[in-house]
């Protein structure tokens, strides 16, 4: 740790590691994911001094997924890896966070500046004396890269990099040499928190966009609001609800925007995903003469194979870094400022607010011996969910099926629809459950519920041990249907490469160190067994891990998945 030697020109000298970790704490982070390695070990000794908890994951990829899930619930996450072998293992997870606008701080312990200058042939290198290769690899998946090599600049670098992480809501990369860990920087800076205020919009541009939007809204006969993932990531949900509360406009979400809007709100109309939407939803959104789109991410899986049928002439798109009014784009005009002015200035007497479409009634009775199919499951789930739950769905049947589930108030949904790395959800679930535990404590933490395919689960199953280790409140449903269902519908329904080995899943919590107190396993094979389990008070109220084998037919899939997979297969087959 610190040598205690005074440093000239610094009024309150602190070690760099303490400065960095204290900044993380000030940004709301309470737990740091990752794995130890010889280039980060001394830095990790400083975590307790900053009141940060070390998670200790099973591998760096899982840790990156977990830091992503933690950030989605907490607002920001952090991961520490070691140079080369560790950071490259985490790269896929961090690329997903970049793709999906999730703010994660990636700290990489690396060889000393002396070793780097000398070009030593060190372990964890490519053996060519180039110590910037891996930082260069991470640059395209980071919104900022900081190499902490000059103590006189390190504090500025850390603050600027963390500010970028927050404002751009994307990962940053901090290269932390071993000989910089105990260098001194000005600790007095820590008395002032990093300024996280968004830059103000250009007033003339912002006012123009607001005026056009208001004129269009006041003239529209069938306006709707469509909310997507970047409204969540870039923190405008208060403004979204302010708009719909004041105008009473019908509001819809995309699959990636699921839970962005309170689904008990009288203006909520459902999930819009082009041709995969419920018919009344599709009719209302596509028949609108003004779509106010907030935070759109129009990816293939988010639009059911690019099946949107929305006229750009009837659309106003609000984004984190620009606004588009019909065909005119206004770079640098951020949606938060625009929305706030719209809410202030809108004349509700001129608003035509149609009621949202009515959703069909859910069947309450079912043959208890019937198989659990996709159509039945996702409509049944909403009666199991509670206000405040965190719901994590894996790429595959769960990501698509959850569209049909109506959430109680204050539910947070996590999915990775754009990046779509199977196995992500297990790590993300661990991170999300830890984030709510950090916020509220073990006894008052929100339930975190994961729906995970058996094929995806096999990629990242080890993180169940981390859930048990930290006594996280998790309900984990493994959908046992013999392999990669989404892949089967794209290509190879009966192909061997889409099969997986049938594990004894329910035995895993015990194998991973679970006890009767910390983990309990279940298996359900039909609707009656699932109904009984979901109604069981102990299952609902006990703390710790509840691990459920949920058996479903091999070739059964949500309609939305089938439509999207068909569109994907057609695109893959295109030759020009």
Task: Give the separation between CA 431 and CA 137, rounded to whole angstroms.
Answer: 25
Written as six digits, the tokens of 279 are 């018919």
Q: What is the pLDDT of residue 569?
A: 85
Query: Three-class SS of residue 294?
Result: strand
> Is 473 a catalytic site residue?
no
**Whole-number Å distance between alpha carbons of 540 and 359:** 27
Residue 123 annotated among the catalytic residues of the structure: yes
Residue with tokens 């099973």: 58
Report the number of secondary-structure helices (H) and strands (E) in the chain: 22, 21
User: Tell me, what's the pLDDT at 214?
Assistant: 97
Given the residues 431, 483, 514, 544, select the one marked as catalytic. 483
DSSP state of 199: P
The 10s digit of each residue's pLDDT in 546-568 is 999 999 999 999 999 998 988 88
What is the tens place of the pLDDT at every residue in 227-268?
999 999 999 999 999 999 999 999 999 999 999 999 999 999
**Is pLDDT above 80 for 364?**
no
SS3 state of residue 29: coil
Is the separation of the CB atoms in 421 and 68 below 8 Å?
no
CA–CA distance, 66 with 162 (Å, rounded to integer): 19
Alpha-carbon Rg for the chain in angstroms: 25
Contact criterion met (CB below 8 Å) for 19 and 155: yes
Residue 483 is among the residues annotated as catalytic for this protein = yes
pLDDT band at 428 (very low <50, low <70, confident <90, very high): very high
Report whether 209 contacts 35 (CB < 8 A).
Answer: no
The verdict on whether 270 is a catalytic residue reads no
Q: Catalytic site residue 487?
A: yes
Q: Which of 179, 382, 487, 499 is catalytic?
A: 487
What pLDDT digit, counting tens, does each position of 377-391 carry?
999 999 999 999 999
Integer angstrom CA distances of residue 468 from 56, 132, 424? 12, 37, 18
Q: Alpha-carbon distance 411 to 447, whole Å?
A: 10
Query: How many other C-beta atoms are found inside a 10 Å radius of the C-beta of residue 510?
Result: 15
Dist CA 280 CA 407 (whole Å) = 19
How much is the average pLDDT of 6-24? 91
pLDDT at 365 (0 to 100): 73
Catalytic residue among 15, 37, 40, 60: 60
The answer to whether residue 4 scores a pLDDT higher than 80 is: no
Average pLDDT over residues 332-351: 97
Give the chain's mean pLDDT: 95
pLDDT at position 575 = 79
Which residue in 100, 454, 473, 549 is the catalytic one? 454
Six-digit token string for 242:
């302010």
The more confidently predicted of residues 570 and 513 is 513
The residue from 38, 238, 321, 555 that is catalytic is 38
Pick the catalytic residue from 40, 62, 74, 481: 481
Quote the CA–CA distance of 459 and 447 in Å, as a whole number.
24
CA distance 352 to 144: 44
Q: Which whole-number Å values give the CA distances from 474 to 30, 224, 261, 430, in the listed order?
A: 19, 36, 24, 8
Distance CA 60, CA 142 (A): 17
Strands 251-253 and 268-271, how do they pair? parallel
Q: Which of 420, 423, 427, 431 is catalytic?
A: 420
DSSP state of 312: G
Q: Quote the CA–CA distance of 140 and 149 in Å, as a whole number.
A: 21
Q: What is the pLDDT of residue 568?
A: 86
Contact 280, 358 (CB under 8 A): yes
Percent of the chain with pLDDT over 70: 98
**pLDDT tens across 467-498, in order?**
999 999 999 999 999 999 999 999 999 999 99
Dist CA 250 CA 46 (whole Å): 50
Tens of pLDDT, residues 517-550: 999 999 999 999 999 999 999 999 999 999 999 9
Residue 17's region, left for phi above 0, alpha for psi from -120 to 50, else beta, is alpha
Which among 92, 124, 245, 525 is annotated as catalytic? 124
| Separation CA 252–CA 271 (nearest Å) | 6
pLDDT digits (tens, 9 = 90+) for 172-203: 999 999 999 999 999 999 999 999 999 999 99
d(CA 14, CA 22): 10
Residue of 51, 119, 123, 129 marked active site? 123
Residue 307 in contact with residue 275, Cβ under 8 Å?
yes
What is the per-residue pLDDT across 108-154, written as a single tens digit (0 to 9) for each?
999 999 999 999 999 999 999 999 999 999 999 999 999 999 999 99
Check if the beta carbon of residue 212 is closer than 8 Å to that of residue 277.
Answer: no
Q: How far apart are the first and last CA of the chain?
A: 61
541 counts as catalytic: no
């Amino acid at each position: 740790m610190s040598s205690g030697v005074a440093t000239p020109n610094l009024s309150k000298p602190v070690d760099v590691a303490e400065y960095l970790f204290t900044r993380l704490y000030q940004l709301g982070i309470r737990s740091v994911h990752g794995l130890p390695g010889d280039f980060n070990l001394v830095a990790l000794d400083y975590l307790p001094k900053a009141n940060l908890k070390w998670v200790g994951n099973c591998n760096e990829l899982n840790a990156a997924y977990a830091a992503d899930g933690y950030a989605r619930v907490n607002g920001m996450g952090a991961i520490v890896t070691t140079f080369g072998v560790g950071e490259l293992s985490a790269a896929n997870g961090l690329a997903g966070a970049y793709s999906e606008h999730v703010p994660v701080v990636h700290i990489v312990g690396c060889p000393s500046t002396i070793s780097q200058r000398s070009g030593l042939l060190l372990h964890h290198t490519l053996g060519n004396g180039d110590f910037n290769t891996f930082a260069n690899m991470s640059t395209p998946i980071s919104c900022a890269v900081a190499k902490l090599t000059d103590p006189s600049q390190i504090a500025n670098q850390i603050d600027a990099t963390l500010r970028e992480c927050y404002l751009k809501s994307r990962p940053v990369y901090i290269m932390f040499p071993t000989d910089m860990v105990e260098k001194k920087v000005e600790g007095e800076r820590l008395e002032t928190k990093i300024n996280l205020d968004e830059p103000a919009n250009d007033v003339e541009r912002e006012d123009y966009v607001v005026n056009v939007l208001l004129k269009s809204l006041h003239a529209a006969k069938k306006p709707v609001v469509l909310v997507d993932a970047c409204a969540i990531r870039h923190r405008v949900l208060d403004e979204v609800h302010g708009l719909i509360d004041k105008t009473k406009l019908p509001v819809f979400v995309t699959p990636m925007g699921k839970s962005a809007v309170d689904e008990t709100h009288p203006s909520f109309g459902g999930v819009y995903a082009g041709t995969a939407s419920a018919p009344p939803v599709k009719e209302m959104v596509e028949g609108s003469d003004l779509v106010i789109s907030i935070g759109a991410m129009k990816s293939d899986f988010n639009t059911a194979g690019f099946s949107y049928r929305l006229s750009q002439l009837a659309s106003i798109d609000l984004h984190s870094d620009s606004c588009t009014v019909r065909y005119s784009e206004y770079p640098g005009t951020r949606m938060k400022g625009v929305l706030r002015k719209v809410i202030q200035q809108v004349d509700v007497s001129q608003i035509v607010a149609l009621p949202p479409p009515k959703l069909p009634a859910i069947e309450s009775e079912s043959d208890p011996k019937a198989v659990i199919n996709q159509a039945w499951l996702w409509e049944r789930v909403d009666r199991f969910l509670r206000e405040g739950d965190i719901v994590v769905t894996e790429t595959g049947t769960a990501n698509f099926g959850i569209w049909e589930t109506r959430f109680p108030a204050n539910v947070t949904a996590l999915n990775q629809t754009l990046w779509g790395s199977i196995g992500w959800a297990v790590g993300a679930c661990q991170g999300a459950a830890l984030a709510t535990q950090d916020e509220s404590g073990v006894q008052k933490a929100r339930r975190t519920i994961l729906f995970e395919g058996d094929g995806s689960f096999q990629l990242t199953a080890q993180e169940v041990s981390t859930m048990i280790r930290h006594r996280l409140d998790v309900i984990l449903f493994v959908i046992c249907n013999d392999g990669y269902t989404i892949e089967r519908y794209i290509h190879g329904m009966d192909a061997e490469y889409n099969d997986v080995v049938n594990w004894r899943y329910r035995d895993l919590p015990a194998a991973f160190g679970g006890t009767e107190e910390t983990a309990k396993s279940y298996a359900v094979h039909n609707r009656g067994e699932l109904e009984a389990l979901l109604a069981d008070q102990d299952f609902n109220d006990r703390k710790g891990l509840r691990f459920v084998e949920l058996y479903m037919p091999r070739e059964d899939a949500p309609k939305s998945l089938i439509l999207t997979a068909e569109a994907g297969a057609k695109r893959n087959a295109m030759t020009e």
